[in-house]
Structure 1
């Protein structure tokens, strides 16, 4: 690996992304599902908008005019690959909301050896990757009508993630992140345990489940799932947008508005968890917020403590939240960032042990191939041991990696 003669620690990124190869489900599901399981077709784009936090693509019919792209087809869903899914290697000013094919994306988006090579270029040792087609917590399958097929799809994705994406050719450098059947907490708990038995220590979840038509964390509905995470040391990983609703101010707000305030759902979600009582009921439970940045955290903790201290009686939390929210945060919550100089200047108000580094490869926000340089510029004022904790040490501890920063696979 090329370390560029740098003393900056090798990065463990807790938020990268994989673009699933076309055969993930076709290769793993029974033959009777071949026509209905997720598969890829090449078709023209009829129209596509991304306004008010809503992504709306419309696939054309064969022979229609329009740019050709590769589309995932699953039931009634038609979801194209877009340049925003994989923008690394493209000039920032040339990144557009447009459909693309697999041939038009950087191979590291979907190919393991190519991904490792791109990680080398970026001073990255290991990476945890969120999905693309299933969306950030597998909500694609939650919306499906055929729940039997959806459950098979969740399990097939997890098998691919563990056995192939993070398989032997990854040499421990890719860290598995699995999905659950969000529609059934008991099945979710079983899937957590199934994957924990083969060394998985992170599972994707929605930052605001009610946006998906699911129960909130203030109910007891999720307790079987949370108990499984608590027992197995599985981290609940929530990515911005995992509620299928990006923050926005109006239906006609341009994407730039939402891009500035992407942290907002993480903020709302974190208050939910801190006021839910779940951290006291499940003392080993830990959650992380991918791509949420960290600069907003100090004020929210300050405000949450004030509300808990002064208003918990009428606020409905006195009987379940018995410690200041800031203390619960310190023991249970991790913020993830890739570009947050302000947050790093206020690290004492967040907590050294509660921050993780990421590169967001291959998305348009990614700092690839300069994640090391960005980190050096923003962490230059911090002692070397502090930088080591942020860039890799906290991730090693949280995800139970080897001391060398690698995933060790099944026990």
Structure 2
């Protein structure tokens, strides 16, 4: 690996993304599901909008005019691959909301050897990758009508993630992140344990489950799932947008508005968790917020402590939150960032051990191929041992990687 003769530590990114190859489900499900399992077709785009945090694509029929793209077809769902799914290698001013084909994306988006090569270019040693077609916590399968098939799809994705994406070709440099059947916490617990037995230490979850029509973390509904995570040391990883509702202000607000306030769902979610009592019920439970940045955290912790201290009686949390929320945060919550100079200036108010680094490859926000240079510019004022912890040390500890920063597989 070319380290550019830099003293900057090799990066462990806790938020990158994979664009699933076309055969993930077709190759793994029984033959009777070939016509109903997720599959890719090439078709024209009829129209597509992204306003007010809502993404609305419409697939055209064969012979229709319009740009051709590759579309995932699954039940009633028609979901195209877009330039926003994989923007690396494209000039920022040329990144638009448009449909694309696999041939039009950088191969590192979906191909393991190409991904490792792009990680080398970017001074990245290891990476944890969120899904694309299933969406950030598997909402695609949660919304499906056929729950039997949906469960098979969740398991097939996890098998592909562990055995192929993070398999032998990855040489320990790709870290598995698995999905759960969100509609059934008991099945979710079983899937956590199945994957933990083969070395998986991270599972995707929604930052605000009620937005998906699911119970909140204030109920006991999720306790079987949380107990499994607590027992196995599996980190609950929540990406912005994993509630299928990106923050916005109005139905006609341009995407730029939402892009500025993407941290908001993480902020709301973190307060939910801190006031839920779950961290005291499940002392080994840990959660992380991918792409949420960190600069907003000090004020929220300050305010949460004030509310807990002064208003916990009428606030409905006195019987389940027995310690200041900031103490619970220090032991259970991790913020992830790729570009947050303000947060780095306020590390003492966040906690050095609660910060993780990311590169967001291959999305438009990604710092690829200059994540090392960006990191050096942001962290140049920090001591070397502090940079080491942020860029890789905390991730090694949280995800139970080897001391060299690699995923070791089944243990």
TM-score greater than 0.5 by the shorter chain: yes
Q: How big is the shift at 1:211?
A: 0.2
User: What is residue 327 of structure 2 aligned with on the other side?
Assistant: 327
Alignment length (residue pairs): 411
Output the CA distance in 2 between the equivalents of 1:85 and 1:348.
35
- Equivalent residue number for residue 392 of structure 2: 392
- After superposing on structure 2, the runs of 4+ consecutive aligned residues of structure 1 that deviate more than 2 Å are none
Equivalent positions of 1:172-211 (< 5 A) are 172-211=172-211
2:376 maps to what in 1? 376
For residues 142-161 of structure 1, give each alpha carbon's deviation from its aligned partner in whole angstroms, at most 9, with x where no partner exists: 00000000000000000000
Residue 279 of structure 1, CA deviation:
0.1
SS in 2 for 1:246: coil
For 1:302 and 1:188, how far apart are their aligned partners in 2?
A: 34
Whole-Å Cα distance in 2 between the matches of residues 347 and 92 of structure 1?
30
1:13 partner SS: strand
State the Cα distance separating 1:366 from its structure 2 match: 0.2
- For residues 52-87 of structure 1, the C-alpha deviation after alignment (integer angstroms, 9 at most, x for no partner) is 000000000000000000000000000000000000
Question: What is the rounded CA distance, in whole Å, between the counterparts of 2:381 and 2:352 in structure 1?
Answer: 14
TM value normalised by structure 1: 1.00
**What stretches of structure 1 of length at least 5 have no aligned partner?**
none
Counterparts of 1:62 and 1:35, CA distance in 2: 18
* CA positional deviation for 1:360: 0.1
Deviations 1:97-128 (A, max 9, x none): 00000000000000000000000000000000
Deviation by residue 1:208-254 (Cα, 9 ceiling, x = unmatched): 00000000000000000000000000000000000000000000000
Q: Deviations over 1:301-324 (max 9, x none)?
A: 000000000000000000000000
Question: Could you give the per-residue CA deviations for residues 162-205 of structure 1, whole angstroms, max 9, x where no partner exists?
Answer: 00000000000000000000000000000000000000000000
- Between the aligned partners of 2:282 and 2:139, the Cα distance in structure 1 is 25
Other-structure match for 1:118: 118
CA distance in structure 1 between the partners assigned to 2:80 and 2:156 by the alignment: 21
Deviation at 1:138, TM superposition (A): 0.2
Cα deviation 1:13-71 (Å, max 9, x = unaligned): 00000000000000000000000000000000000000000000000000000000000
Q: Secondary structure at the match of 1:155?
A: helix
Deviation at 1:361, TM superposition (A): 0.1
| Counterpart Cα distance in 2 of 1:171 and 1:107 | 18
Please give the alpha-carbon distance, in whole angstroms, between the structure 2 residues aligned to 1:344 and 1:304.
21
Cα RMSD over matched residues?
Answer: 0.2
